[in-house]
């Protein structure tokens, strides 16, 4: 996989925020060294979040997101501001651009954003823009004010950076310093559950969800993680699993399956061999594992009168027998009754806390196409609304009766820790 093909969920996501005409788009263009966003003196030029995937040394693959102005006005403006604030839920670093020529450079908009960054533990950097035309004393005062509040800042000129690089190197260096340690050293997907030299069997169905000639992303990531950990892996489809297990000596330390094959795979894998699924591994890597597990246990309380939200983090077009829109709803209704209501959301359209309160359970996808911060943010929002949340793999494991076995390889007795 090339660097430019790195999925957005594995990129450091950097959001660029600020009021209209403070230089957000110009700042992003200076970082990317190209005209990623349209720059105009007309307020409100950026109406929707604009994303640009690129390489930013030494961070590697990043996703830069330009946003609409925090002070946008009117009915459409309010909608744009809502979209801008939604971006904050998924970024790893927030860049807040302020205009050094304005006396009100720190207005209620910036203050509210800084407070929200603090409450969400999102590292933020204030870019003091238009330093080339501002009074030097004003720039110095802004720096002093920010430093007194413990807020990182960099003096910048988006206009001059295009030709002279004024502030651009310092901006990139500051972003490097703010990058969360969890991004620079992300948790492994599976390799820490086995020892170097161990073999793992990956059961990977080839169906309509797998692009022609390729494997789906979770399977590719598991293979790469095992190779990085010095492990070997055998990749088979479900019909060949029995033969593969009989030929492997010694037996594999772990079998990882597509969650949809849990029932049949569990019947084939001896209890002496650990078993889990790709989606359950992602529950640990992308979110808080205990929160997802508690959500899976909450499935036991559903009835035919319950309302469930199924959330996909990517906006793919559902295929025939799609897991989120067809298979899981069918399994839920078979277990709890045909009258059980199932709603769906995709992409960034995750409901607000108040909207979530109408649900009895949220079932999230494996989140292979989004980042850990977005998943943690959604979990926190669900917890705040008092609604349990789990994911696809845990749901299927519960409904097929293998949840206890499927979580054991992760080395945590979650049943005991939840008491």
Helices (H), 337-371: 353-356
Helices (H), 198-350: 217-228, 241-247, 262-268, 278-286, 289-297, 328-336
Print pLDDT tens along the chain (419 aa).
Answer: 444 567 777 889 999 999 998 988 888 888 776 654 444 455 545 556 888 888 876 677 889 999 988 988 777 778 888 888 889 888 999 999 999 999 999 999 999 999 999 988 899 999 999 998 999 999 999 999 999 999 999 998 877 765 544 567 788 878 888 888 777 666 799 999 999 999 999 999 876 665 566 788 889 999 999 999 999 999 999 999 999 999 999 999 999 999 999 999 999 999 999 999 999 999 999 998 999 999 999 999 999 999 999 999 876 555 667 899 999 999 999 999 999 999 999 988 899 889 999 999 999 999 988 888 889 889 988 998 999 999 999 999 999 999 999 999 997 555 444 44
- List helix spans (H) across 359-402: 372-384, 392-399
| CATH assignment, 191-280 | 3.40.50.11420
pLDDT of residue 164: 47
| CATH topology (fold) of 3-184 | Rossmann fold (3.40.50)
Respond yes or no on whether the N-terminal peptide bond of residue 221 is cis (omega within 30° of 0): no
Strand spans (E) along 28-92 = 50-56, 60-66
Confidence (pLDDT) at 316: 58
pLDDT of amino acid 57: 67
Residue 2, pLDDT score: 44
| 398 within 8 A of 335, measured Cβ to Cβ | no
Give the Cα separation of 182 and 92 in Å (integer).
10
Going from N- to C-terminal start, the domains of the chain cover: 3-184, 191-280, 288-417
Residue 9, CA distances (Å) to 50, 86, 92, 396 in order = 16, 16, 11, 23
Query: What is the spatial distance between Cα 6 and Cα 88, in angstroms, rounded to a whole number?
Result: 21
Strands (E), 168-288: 199-203, 232-236, 254-257, 274-277
Sort 1 into a burial class: Cβ within 10 Å, 0-12 / 13-18 / 19+.
Answer: exposed
pLDDT, residue 40, reads 47
Fold of 288-417: Rossmann fold (3.40.50)
Q: How many CA atoms lie within 13 A of 260 on its CB side?
A: 17
**pTM exceeding the 0.85 threshold for the entire prediction:** no
In angstroms, the CA 119 to CA 248 distance is 51
Nearest C-alpha neighbor of 347 from the set 359, 364, 330: 364
pLDDT of residue 162: 55
Whole-angstrom CA distances from 209 to 23, 216, 301, 320 are: 42, 7, 31, 9
């Amino acid at each position: 996989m090339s660097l430019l093909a790195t999925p957005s969920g594995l990129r450091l996501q950097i959001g660029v925020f600020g009021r209209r005409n403070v230089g957000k788009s110009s700042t992003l263009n200076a970082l990317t060294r190209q005209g990623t966003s349209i720059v105009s003196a007309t307020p409100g030029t950026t109406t929707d979040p604009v994303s640009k995937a690129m390489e930013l040394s030494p961070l590697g693959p990043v996703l830069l997101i330009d946003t609409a102005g925090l002070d946008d006005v009117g009915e459409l403006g309010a909608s744009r501001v809502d979209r801008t604030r939604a971006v904050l839920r998924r970024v790893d670093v927030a860049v807040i651009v302020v205009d050094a020529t304005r006396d009100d450079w720190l207005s209620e908009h910036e203050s509210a954003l800084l407070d929200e960054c603090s409450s969400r533990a999102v590292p933020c950097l204030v870019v003091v823009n238009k330093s080339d035309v501002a009074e030097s004393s004003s720039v110095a005062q802004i720096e002093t004010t920010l430093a007194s509040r413990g807020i990182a800042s960099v003096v910048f000129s988006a206009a001059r950076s295009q030709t002279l690089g004024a502030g651009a190197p310092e901006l990139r260096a500051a972003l490097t310093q703010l990058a969360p340690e969890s991004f620079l050293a992300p948790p492994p997907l599976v390799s820490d559950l086995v020892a170097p030299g161990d073999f793992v069997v990956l059961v990977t169905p080839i169906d309509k969800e797998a692009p022609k000639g390729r494997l789906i992303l979770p399977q590719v990531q598991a293979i790469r993680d095992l190779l990085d950990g010095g492990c070997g892996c055998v990749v088979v489809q479900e019909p060949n699993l029995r033969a593969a297990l009989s030929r492997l000596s010694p037996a594999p330390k772990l079998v990882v399956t597509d969650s949809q094959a849990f029932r049949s795979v569990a019947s084939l894998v001896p209890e002496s061999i650990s078993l889990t699924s790709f989606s359950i591994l992602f529950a640990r890597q992308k979110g808080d594992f205990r929160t997802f597990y508690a959500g899976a246990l909450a499935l036991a309380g559903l009835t035919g009168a319950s309302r469930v939200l199924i959330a996909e983090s990517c906006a793919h077009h559902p295929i025939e027998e799609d897991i989120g829109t067809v298979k899981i709803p069918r399994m839920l209704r078979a277990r709890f009754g045909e009258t059980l209501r199932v709603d769906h959301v995709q992409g960034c359209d995750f409901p607000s806390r108040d909207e979530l309160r109408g649900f009895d359970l949220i079932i999230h996808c494996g989140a292979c196409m989004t980042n850990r911060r977005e998943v943690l943010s959604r979990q926190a929002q669900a917890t705040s609304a008092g609604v349990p949340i789990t994911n696809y793999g845990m749901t299927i494991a519960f409904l097929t009766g293998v949840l206890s076995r499927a979580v054991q390889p992760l080395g945590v007795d979650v049943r005991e820790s939840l008491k």
